[in-house]
Chains A and B, each alone.
Chain A
Amino acid sequence: MRVPLEWLSEYADAGLPVKALEERLTMTGTKVEAVHHHGVGALERFVVGRVLEAERHPDADRLTVCSVDVGDGGPQQIVCGAPNVAAGQTVAVARPGAVMPNGMELGVAKLRGVESNGMILAEDELGIGTDHAGIMVLGDEHAPGTPLKAVLPIFTAVFEFEITPNRPDCLGVYGVAREVHAATGAPLKPPPWAQDLRTGAEIPGVEIRVEDPELCPRFTARVFEDVTIGPSPPWLKARLMAAGQRPINNVVDITNYVMLLAGNPLHAFDLDRIEGGRLVVRRARPGEQITTLDDVVRTLDDQMLLIEDDAGPTSIAGVMGGQRSEVHDGTTRVLMEVANWNGPNIHRTSQLLNLRSEASGRFEKGLAPEQAMEAQIVATQLMIELTGARLVPGTIDVGGPGPPPKVIRLRERRVAELLGRAIERPRQAEILTALQFGVTDADDGLDVSVPAFRRNDVYREADLVEEVARIDGLEKLPATLPKRRGSAGRLTTVQRLRRRAVDALVGRGMYETVGWSFTDPGLADRLRLAPDDPRRDFVVLENPMSEDHSVLRTTLAGALLDAARHNTARGMPDLALFECGTVYRATTDKLPHEHRALGGILTGRLHPQTWGTPEPPRAGFFAAKGVLGAALDAIRVRWDVEPATEPFLHPGRTARVSAGGEDVGWLGELHPLVARTWDLDHGAALFEVDLDRVLGHADAVPQYVDLTSFPALRMDLSVTLPEDVPAATVVATVREAGGDLLADARVFDLYHGEQVGAGRKSLALALAFRAPDRTLTDEDVAPLRERIVGALHDALGGDLRA
């Protein structure tokens, strides 16, 4: 909302510097987003001039050499290109040094060899109109040398306000003036609609019928005859230009001007083009069509409201007019419509038709019915004043004003209770009165009646507290802290453990990424997921911003692969990335299943080539297993893996991951074909676990075990086995045979070679035996060792290596 300060000051002139007014309005809730400077600079160089002589330029047919009285320093020679310049005219003159609206500074110029000491101005050159056909001719009452700013609004600051949706009353200059009054104490002039010509209720030959009063709470109409369509006067054009509206003609300009002043849109019909002199407001029939002003055929439904005459629909009510009954150059009889429409209904229509207009944008915020008549009154004054029109007696007013004002009790103590600072009752009353509320004393506070233009926004005590607080000044509030009865801030166990797991990965040199929750449904195919894979159960967006972001991810794998590709393509092929983020799966419930996943990707070298390690190891299954294990061990989860397959992973290097016996995710090397899809030439190893499930198995409160009183007895065991016996089976067999005293068994070496023979491998295990109550001796452990060796032989075909 652009409000020229010059216009605003007509109703409330705070007399403050622009910066101070900006600050005060912002701090009381009418936020100034920007201050623009509209018009010219170096104001003193713009004056009224009188053309004393005007003669044709000796060398140019279209130029006139004028002698202009500018009040001081004798007549000035100015060359003018306008066809209408003539001796005797009073004109607007820019003298050398003047700064034009485009920022250009005027100097002494030579035009075709003749010196010109300035410029006689057309309105567009001042930014106060669009006419460039000729110079402006001013009234002769202005003496030469009079500062031009006293005659024409050639400069104004323009406030651009952010008007919050609860304050449609501030979408008009007068509404903002009320705020200036309340915020600064500047006197508020009576509203421009304070005086109205009293007229009867009927207009002969005109009928208005509103079939749906709920969607059209008020419809007012007046008729003007003997209208002469023409340009608006400079002051009006200047204000429209400064407010960002292009002048068209006097009638259209009046509708725009009044809308900007009073807030309520207006529509001017050519009465001679309203068939039958009758307007009917009704719901459209389903599928009914209308051609709007922008020459588009619109198809309506039965919730949409239209205005028709005897020849059919002329406008979509409150949104956009039709072409047939528009005002045109030959219009002489105008029916001025100012109505009030149901906000949500206008919003719906404008949304569904994808048709937004200045009018719909205002109506959908919910204007007060009272505003319609206010705008009608101002329009009447201007129509008579500016178009030479005659008001046909009579005012049609269907629906009338809104409900009577509501009275709300504002308890004095409640202000202090909500704000944490008391504001005395007289001050409360002063503020509310300034904001145009009616105020009377009550036993514990004030009884406050709400003006119509705030009806939708202020209907409870808390709303009044806000009004009092914002005008009194929020900067006066002390900074205190809540009493925090019985509350102690902390992370939950799960939140703490989640941080620990993430920290463990960071500690292993991994970089955290944050992937989009969005992905594209084609991801499922790129990951080669089976048709019945639950990871195809995407949550689908109805209105995605792009196909790439049209569903929610069911796995972190896509985001991790994308991140790996992004960096690899930019010359960073050695990566260890992870993400801890939400994944989503559609279910039959209204809301999808969401869980927090922890996933990682390793690709390229595990660390850079160095002087000590010219051939660093490359990422593979075991590197991924190592970092995942670090995260799981960090939060003390008992976890395990077993061979498995995933469609996007290497079939020989894939594992399911379980925690506490529950399946929680997968781990493996990327399938080469999938790696190719993501341009990862050197492959990658990935993992993903359901962190919510994993955390359910974490040992958050470890209990003490005495491992120090009696030392462990350690020994190594080297055994050859058939190639296909998994290490986990070997360890399980050893543990089983070792019994309670076997505290730990771990594979630390793997060997293939001639010594162990084809089809066999050698595993070395480190064993630790421990008793809780004594130091074990070799004699204690010897039989256990025998049992372990026997079990390996009998169950797995293992032979002790010499």
Chain B
Amino acid sequence: MIERIDELRTQAEAAIATADTTRALEELRVRYLGRKAELPNLLRSVAQLPAEERGTVGRAANEARQLLEGLIEARAGELEAGELDARLVADRVDVTLPGEPPQPIGRLHLLTATWRELEDVFIGLGFTVVEGPEVETVHYNFDALNHDATHPARDRTDTFYVADDVVLRTHTSPMQIRAMEAHPPPLYVVIPGRTYRRDNDATHTPMFHQVEGLAVDEDITLADLKGTLLAFARAVFGEERDVRLRPHFFPFTEPSVEVDVSCFQCGGDGHLRDGSRCNICKGEGWLEILGAGEVDPNIYAYVDDDRYDPEKVQGFAWGLGIERVAMLKHGVTDLRLFYDNDLRFLEQFG
């Protein structure tokens, strides 16, 4: 009896090990462990054996059955995994097809992207962002900014008039006065927004955008202006940039300066590695980027607040063209592209 059990077990072990489909394995299970199979029958018939044999034969048969069950289960696992893999491999897709459904990307306009970039740089430098009206009084746009009665910017050839004393603001500077009227010193603000001048060519559009800066405190120096704008230039154009201040004239700053940034393409050399003239800075090594200066003492007189006393406070201001920064940084050659809203332009930025 024991011999027969061993024989069956050996036979079944070999068969299970060589079964190569789940179906064949199932057949083996029926053959060796099924209702009509020999081994289960042996187990069932143990009770009829002499008492002294029952223990050994029963144990042996049971062990054989458990062993075979385990072997079948293990083999089934192997075979199922293999068959699943085979099915999955057959169920392949072309992974190089586009995603579905397509997800349109959407973009900020280059102008907004640059606007935010500038705002964020100056926020990091301690400035808050304020905004103001685009249709502005002559008082705020010119008079309170110390413009002579004959200043050419007042000309109707240069400035849009809505009434004799109302214009489309020609710069974001009128908000300097409004900001000082609204807040006592110390004051650190930037003022982004739309501005307007009667100009129309590849480098001028009648509408454009500026970011004004104004800092007024007890001891704000021209050197502080330089440091602030150096930080801005490096944040926007790269850590290696340098700035230089050139004396200039603006009615509402004294001293007044124009600020140049060292060219980010040629590094300020004015020429490229191959010796050719740098096309971005036109060989100058510097890019004019904005006008600035120490707030002219006359300006404080237009603010109806004693705390803005030029003997007690001083500050700096600048006006920066957003399009100018965007054009330089991204190599845009025609300002009018900003306002065509052509998708082929919009898709490239933001």
Contacts and interface: CB of A to CB of B under 8 A. Distances in A.
Nearest to A596: B131
B65 to A, nearest CB: 47
Contact of A549 (B102, B105, B112, B206): B206
A502 B246 contact: no
B148 to A, nearest CB: 7
Contact of A480 (B200, B218, B223): B223
Interface string B200-225: 10000011000000010111111110
A507 B104 CA distance: 8
A592 B342 CA distance: 30
A28 B247 contact: yes
B106 A613 contact: no
Contacts of B102: 607-608, 610
B148 A541 contact: no
A330 B230 CA distance: 64
A479 B227 contact: yes
Given A463-B254, A613-B100, A567 B341 contact: yes
B107 A512 contact: yes
Interface in B159-176: 160-163, 165-166, 168
A499 interface: yes
A590 interface: yes
A541 B104 CA distance: 39
Contacts of B338: 514
Nearest to A577: B341
Contacts of B256: 466
Interface in A391-427: 417-421
A16 interface: no
Interface string A530-574: 000000000111111100010010000000001100110010100
A592 to B, nearest CB: 5
Contact of B341 (A481, A514, A591): A514
A514 to B, nearest CB: 5
B50 interface: no
A545 B188 contact: no
A543 to B, nearest CB: 5
A681 interface: no
B186 interface: yes
Interface stretch (B33-41, B116-124, B261-269): B116-124
A549 B127 CA distance: 35
A482 B294 contact: no
Contact of B126 (A421, A487, A543): A487
Contacts of A545: 198, 200, 206
Contacts of B4: none
A495 interface: yes
Contact of B163 (A499, A515, A542): A542
A165 interface: yes
Interface stretch (A300-308, A469-477, A657-665, A750-758): A469-477
Given A417-B314, A542-B161, A610-B102, A517 B107 contact: no
A515 B303 CA distance: 34
A459 to B, nearest CB: 10
Given A482-B217, A512-B346, A517-B207, A474 B294 contact: no
A608 to B, nearest CB: 6
B223 A491 contact: no
Interface size range of chain B in the complex: 35 or more
Contacts of A502: 108, 112
A563 B108 CA distance: 15
B101 A516 contact: no
Contact of B219 (A365, A417, A489, A616): A417
A55 interface: no
B102 to A, nearest CB: 5
B133 interface: yes
Interface string A592-617: 10100000000000011011110010
Contacts of A365: 150
A509 interface: yes
B109 interface: yes
A357 interface: no
Nearest to B259: A474
Given A489-B127, A566-B340, A584-B134, A29 B223 contact: no
Given A480-B223, A481-B125, A487-B186, A462 B246 contact: no
Contacts of B246: 26-27, 29, 31, 474
B231 interface: yes
A562 B339 CA distance: 11
B167 to A, nearest CB: 10
Contacts of B296: 462
Given A420-B223, A481-B231, A514 B188 contact: no
B203 to A, nearest CB: 15
B106 A510 contact: yes
A508 B248 contact: no
B151 interface: yes
Contacts of B148: 165, 344
B155 interface: yes
A591 B123 CA distance: 30
A511 B116 contact: no
Nearest to B165: A590
Nearest to B157: A543
B106 A508 contact: yes
B42 interface: no
Given A29-B247, A469-B255, A478 B223 contact: yes
B107 A480 contact: no
Contacts of B271: none
Given A418-B294, A463-B254, A515-B341, A576 B106 contact: yes
A475 B222 CA distance: 11
Contacts of B217: 482-485
B331 interface: no
A620 to B, nearest CB: 16
A347 interface: yes
Contacts of B152: 165
Contact of B221 (A417, A466, A517): A417
Contacts of A482: 126, 188, 215, 217, 220, 224, 227-228
B194 A512 contact: no
Interface string B219-242: 111111011101100000000000
A543 B230 CA distance: 39
A481 B224 contact: yes
Nearest to A486: B186
B350 A512 contact: yes
Nearest to A474: B245
A62 interface: no
Contacts of B245: 474-475, 477
B297 A460 contact: yes
B276 to A, nearest CB: 19
A406 B172 CA distance: 34
A590 B137 contact: yes
Given A347-B150, A474-B244, A590-B166, A514 B161 contact: no
B130 to A, nearest CB: 9
Nearest to A361: B152
B161 A566 contact: no
Interface of B: 97-98, 100-109, 111-112, 116, 119, 122-129, 133-137, 148-152, 155-156, 160-163, 165-166, 168, 186-188, 194, 196, 198, 200, 206-207, 215, 217-224, 226-228, 230-231, 243-249, 254-258, 294, 296-297, 314, 338-344, 346-347, 350
- 9 tightest Cβ-Cβ pairs between the two chains A and B: A509-B104, A420-B223, A420-B221, A29-B247, A164-B249, A466-B255, A470-B247, A612-B100, A489-B123
Given A479-B223, A491-B129, A567-B343, 19 more contacts: A164-B249, A418-B314, A420-B224, A462-B254, A486-B186, A509-B103, A509-B105, A510-B106, A511-B106, A511-B343, A512-B346, A513-B346, A516-B207, A543-B156, A590-B137, A591-B133, A594-B134, A610-B100, A611-B100
13 contacts: A27-B246, A31-B248, A474-B246, A475-B245, A481-B125, A482-B220, A483-B217, A491-B123, A509-B103, A511-B106, A542-B161, A544-B160, A572-B344
